[in-house]
Amino acid sequence: MSGNRAVAYLKPGAVEVRTIDYPTLELQDGPGVASENVGRKCRHGVILRVLASNICGSDQHMVRGRTTAPEGLVLGHEITGEVVERGPDVETIDVGDIVSVPFNIACGRCRNCKERKTGICLNVNPARPGAAYGYVDMGGWVGGQAEFAMIPYADFNLLKFPDRDQAREKLLDLTMLSDIFPTGFHGVVSSGAGVGSTVYVAGAGPVGLAAAASAHLLGAAVVIVGDLNAERLAQARSFGCETVDVSRGDVGEQIAQILGEPEVDAAVDAVGFEARGHGPDAQEAPATVLNSLMGLTRAGGALGIPGLYVTDDPGGIDEDAKSGTLKVRLGLGWAKSHRFTTGQCPVMQYHRGLMMAILHERVHIAKAVNATVIGIEDAPRGYAEFDQGASRKYVLNPHGVLDGLQPV
């Protein structure tokens, strides 16, 4: 095959669908590819026919021009697909398998991978620990918002679904395993939440909604979601969450109206560096969520921080913000003996267990995040509507496999 339709970053505020080369088991030069990775042979890799690839809030940061992403970077790190070719060194994955792809690329050989810290693999990105598909400064691995994609280290990275027919039926739920479901779950686990906990999730985008659903799965007594988007707050209420509208002022007071006290046991930051201050007409203030959560979390509690923070933000509000230097009230967190967990979710710590929860009807994650299927040619519209605050998780359908599927 010669062509491959894919979604590429064009300029701030714009993506386009273009034809790129069909993938091979060798990393080619292209936008964002680390020079040291060009020509890297992947005999351990596979080629996937992409069955579903999701638009992520992390992609949106790039598309807004809030990173140093180059023009032409092929987007997409949330990939579910069918194996159509496997490299000569692949042993446990076969052609025809339907698989979930963790967004973090891991070699399975380095110290961090052997310690299950697959979000910071030492061998896949020459610039820094950790890599991802279709993301700026993450090694230049070509993104999966495309018809076909190459996945390295297949035996280690891929989660094979046990039954093809069942996987097809539940594909809208299973496609969330590549990123947002494990990421939301990781945020809740690292916040220390469990049976009987009160949990506050800042942000009602897809990751925040996934975190809220995860808190329910883990047995939380009360899950409160905060945002300033009425549609997204309504989506959180649709599956049993309490909500607070941060545009209406003090969050602690609103939490007290729900719980009888202004603090929670555990808190999750699902917003990240493009946070805004609380109250009406609040302006961007990138440390707002972190500082707010330290105030709202009980002494001895913890903060899970799956929301993205970057080292380079060209659109930052000041010189500190442009380098990811934020004015965080660490003294408050220290005084309350808080624990903080940041960084990429190590997807492989969670994805098999979450797959089983989906397959056995313990969670309906596609319904929680309002999964919405669109064609790959409609990706620019999906990005635009998502940027305008649509309470939907857009799922690209490059081969029509998702036709007729609805969240249940």
The 3-class secondary structure across 147-190, one letter per residue, is CEEEECCHHHHCEECCCHHHHHHCHHHHHHHHCHHHHHHHHHHH
Residue 26 CA to residue 37 CA, distance in Å, equals: 9
Tens of pLDDT along 311-351? 888 999 899 899 989 999 999 999 999 999 999 999 999 99
Residue 151 CA to residue 344 CA, distance in Å, equals: 19
CB atoms within 10 A of CB 384: 14
Please say if the pLDDT value at position 278 is more than 90: no
Tens of pLDDT along 162-176? 999 999 999 999 999
Which of 187, 245, 173 minimizes the C-alpha distance to 215? 187
Please say if the pLDDT value at position 134 is more than 80: yes
Please say if the pLDDT value at position 29 is more than 70: yes
Contacts of 326 (CB under 8 A, 6+ apart): 273, 286, 287, 290, 309, 320
* Domains defined for the chain, CATH in brackets: 3-179+346-396 (3.90.180.10), 183-342 (3.40.50.720)
Q: Which residue matches tokens 């313990």?
A: 362
Supply the DSSP symbol for 104: B
End-to-end CA distance of the chain: 36
The pair of three-digit structure tokens given for residue 87, joined into one six-digit string: 């490299």
pTM listed for this prediction: 0.96
Please say if the pLDDT value at position 386 is more than 60: yes
pLDDT above 70 as % of the chain: 100
Local structure of 278: helix, strand or coil: coil
Which of 308, 353, 347, 305 minimizes the C-alpha distance to 113? 347
Band of residue 277 on the pLDDT scale cut at 50, 70, 90: confident
How high does pLDDT run on average in the chain?
A: 95
* Residue 406, burial from CB neighbour count under 10 angstroms (0-12, 13-18, 19+): exposed
Please give the pLDDT value at position 189: 98
pLDDT above 90 as % of the chain: 89
Please give the pLDDT value at position 2: 64
Which of 77, 83, 74 minimizes the C-alpha distance to 54? 77
Tens of pLDDT along 218-255? 999 999 999 999 999 999 999 999 999 999 989 999 99
Please give the pLDDT value at position 312: 86
Q: What is the mean predicted confidence (pLDDT) over 72-87? A: 97
Which of 104, 207, 224, 206 minimizes the C-alpha distance to 152? 104
Rounded to 5°, angle at Cα 402 from 397 and 407: 115
Please say if the pLDDT value at position 138 is more than 60: yes
Residue 45 and residue 152 in contact, taking contact as beta carbons nearer than 8 Å: yes
Q: What is the mean predicted confidence (pLDDT) over 64-89? A: 96
Please say if the pLDDT value at position 276 is more than 90: no
Please say if the pLDDT value at position 310 is more than 90: no
Rounded to 5°, angle at Cα 296 from 293 and 298: 110
Please say if the pLDDT value at position 298 is more than 70: yes
Q: What is the mean predicted confidence (pLDDT) over 207-214? A: 98
Please say if the pLDDT value at position 401 is more than 60: yes
Which of 234, 170, 160, 259 minimizes the C-alpha distance to 392? 234
Please give the pLDDT value at position 279: 73
Please give the pLDDT value at position 210: 98
Band of residue 1 on the pLDDT scale cut at 50, 70, 90: low
Local structure of 35: helix, strand or coil: helix
Handedness of CA 316, 317, 323, 325 (dihedral sign): negative
Please say if the pLDDT value at position 280 is more than 80: no
Which of 177, 259, 257, 242 minimizes the C-alpha distance to 210? 177
Q: What is the mean predicted confidence (pLDDT) over 65-89? A: 96
